[in-house]
Amino acid sequence: MNFQYWHPEKEKMDRAALKVFQLGAVQKTLVRALKTDFYGKRLAEAGIKGADDIRSLDHIKRIPFTTKHDLRTAFPYGMLAVGKDDVLRLHASSGTTGVPTTIYFNRNDIVSWTGLVARSIFSTGCDRRDVFQNMITYGLFTGGLGFHYGGEEIGMLVIPSGPGNTSRQFRLMRDYGTTVVHATPSFLLHVESKMREEGVARENISLKRAFAGAEPYSEDTRRRIEELLRIDVFNSYGLSEMNGPGVAFECQCKNGMHLWEDAFFAEIIDPDTLEPLPDGETGELVLTTLSREAMPILRYRTRDITAFYTEACPCGRTHRRIRRIKGRSDDMLIINGVNIFPSQIEEVVMGIREVGNNYLIVVEKEGFMDRLTVKTEISLEIFKDDDSRVLNAIRENIRRTLQTAITVNPKVELVESNSLPVSEGKAIRVMDKRPKDV
Ligand code: ADP
Ligand code: ZN
């Protein structure tokens, strides 16, 4: 494989040098943060007065965590470390788990963010000859403009299509010879089903790659998109609190996402004891910005569950890779006392050949018990099959495989393909209809 690097001196930085750089950057970030109302108070309470309190990377443990709740409390300007006049842009998180949080960028922040997205895109083998259709929501969501600027930085032709309207997406792909797209994995699956439905010939489009992120998905889902669309799919991880996209990204090796450690200091902690875990163990990702000026954030608890790979990547980048995100700790469902991540269900359904490209998890209360139903789309040919034994056998196979994987016995409903709702933003995979405890 021929590897290419956008920022070779940074991406292949020797790890000892990277650590020295990180320590300096943490100290600078801390000094900036101390200027904000929020951290001014928070750090004083923790007895941290300045850079001298953090003389080694290990001392970072002294800094208290920041949570989404803190960002909401500090809303609107409590975490701003520059004058309002220096702010060029704001973005807000999609609000999956409540009130959205707002992130501010000054000119340098936009430049460094753009560089991170550009290096991520470039690491997948794309270059200025590519035509990039950005099929993700623009606006307050960071995925639109973040990828847009990154693509332009490389010199690609960027088509700001946004999501939705699949017929129009196909037209754009054909007219301009799109070679790479960015979308949520659920939208890519939807695009593929629509392509078949509308009879779009694969030969008429030049697609080679896709960046898929913004929501958790399984390795089987990746493989399915790759096989059906005959492209390479690269996992893209980011969150608005850390700019948006360009936090961690898969290189051509497609084996875990390089987390850009010259821009973020990463820890994985045990979400119960809050202690940092050794490399290789699974826990919650905690991130500190290393270059952000307008809004530095220290030890942000992402709630995202992952682990570091311990081996180096063949591409030569020295930045450690994280595993596919298992989900957020707050996505976890408790069904009759059993903890289940929606991603465990996805792994099973997407691994079954007859299952179509969409599914929905419904949780209800039946008397005192929780009832889990998994609705899965089934291709039209099978669905129309007169022989009910065929459908029953498929249903029973899904149920049995799920039960083995999650230990809860689910009800499985088969529905026609393209009949479950498709979201333009992040997919809504779970409908929890249980009454909330008061
Ligand atoms: P919100 O927090 O409101 O959903 P964001 O746009 O900031 O808004 O979403 C960031 C979150 O999206 C991450 O914390 C993570 O949970 C999820 N996410 C982003 N990219 C991925 C990915 N590649 N795999 C799994 N989850 C992802
Ligand atoms: Zn690599």
402-413 pLDDT, tens per residue? 999 998 999 999
Q: Which of 69, 91, 325, 346 to mutate to test the pocket of ligand 1 (most atoms within 8 A of CB)?
A: 325
DSSP track, 169-212: HHHHHHHHT--EEEE-HHHHHHHHHHHHHTT--GGG----EEEE
Is residue 100's pLDDT more than 80? no
Structure tokens at 63: 């800094």
Mean pLDDT, rounded, for 407-435 = 90
| Closest atom of ligand 1 relative to the 304 alpha carbon | 16
Q: What is the pLDDT of residue 98?
A: 65
Identify the CATH number of the domain defined by range 1-326.
3.40.50.12780
The answer to whether the beta carbons of residues 63 and 48 sit under 8 Å apart is yes
What distance in angstroms lies between residue 342's CA and the mean position of ligand 1's atoms?
A: 14
Q: Directed axis angle between helix 185-197 and helix 166-176, to 10°?
A: 80
Q: Is 273 helix (H, G, I), strand (E, B) or coil?
A: coil
Taking the whole predicted model, whether its pTM rises above 0.85 is answered as yes
Give the ligand whose atoms come closest to the C-alpha of residue 329: 1
Per-chain residues with Cβ under 5 A from ion ligand 2:
251, 253, 313, 315, 317
Is residue 92's pLDDT more than 70? yes
Q: What is the pLDDT of residue 339?
A: 87
**Using 50, 70 and 90 to split pLDDT, how confident is the model at 94?**
low
- Interacting residues of 406 by C-beta distance below 8 A, sequence separation 6+: 338, 340, 344, 345, 348
**Using 50, 70 and 90 to split pLDDT, how confident is the model at 330?**
confident
Mean pLDDT, rounded, for 12-41 = 98
pLDDT tens by residue, 332-358: 898 988 889 898 899 999 999 889 899
Per-domain residue ranges of the chain: 1-326, 333-432
Instruction: State phi, psi for 408 to the nearest 5 degrees.
Output: -100, 145
Mean pLDDT, rounded, for 401-425 = 91
Would the CB of 306 count as within 6 Å of ligand 1? Answer: no
Give the ligand whose atoms come closest to the C-alpha of residue 120: 2
Would the CB of 212 count as within 6 Å of ligand 1? Answer: no
- Interacting residues of 367 by C-beta distance below 8 A, sequence separation 6+: none
Q: What is the mean pLDDT of the chain?
A: 94
**Using 50, 70 and 90 to split pLDDT, how confident is the model at 438?**
very low
| Closest atom of ligand 1 relative to the 216 alpha carbon | 25
Q: CA-based Rg of the chain, rounded to a whole angstrom?
A: 22
Q: Is 44 helix (H, G, I), strand (E, B) or coil?
A: helix
Least confident of 121-125, 312-316, 389-393, 408-412: 389-393
Burial annotation 268-298 (CB, 10 A radius, 16+ → b, else e): bbeeeeeeebeeeeebbbbbbbbbbbbbbbb
Mean pLDDT, rounded, for 112-122 = 98
Looking from the CA of 33 toward its CB, the CA atoms found within 13 Å total: 29
Looking from the CA of 390 toward its CB, the CA atoms found within 13 Å total: 10
How many whole angstroms separate alpha carbon 259 and alpha carbon 31?
24
The fold of 333-432 is: GMP Synthetase; Chain A, domain 3 (3.30.300)
Cα torsion 134, 425, 215, 372: sign? negative
List the one residue out of 232, 177, 181, 227 whose CA is nearest residue 206: 177
Q: What is the pLDDT of residue 97?
A: 60
- % of residues, the chain, pLDDT over 70: 98
Q: Could you tell me the CA-to-CA distances from 202 to 199, 229, 231 in Å, in that order?
A: 9, 8, 11
The answer to whether the beta carbons of residues 103 and 91 sit under 8 Å apart is yes
What distance in angstroms lies between residue 20's CA and the mean position of ligand 2's atoms?
A: 22
Q: Which of 96, 136, 211, 303 to mutate to test the pocket of ligand 1 (most atoms within 8 A of CB)?
A: 96
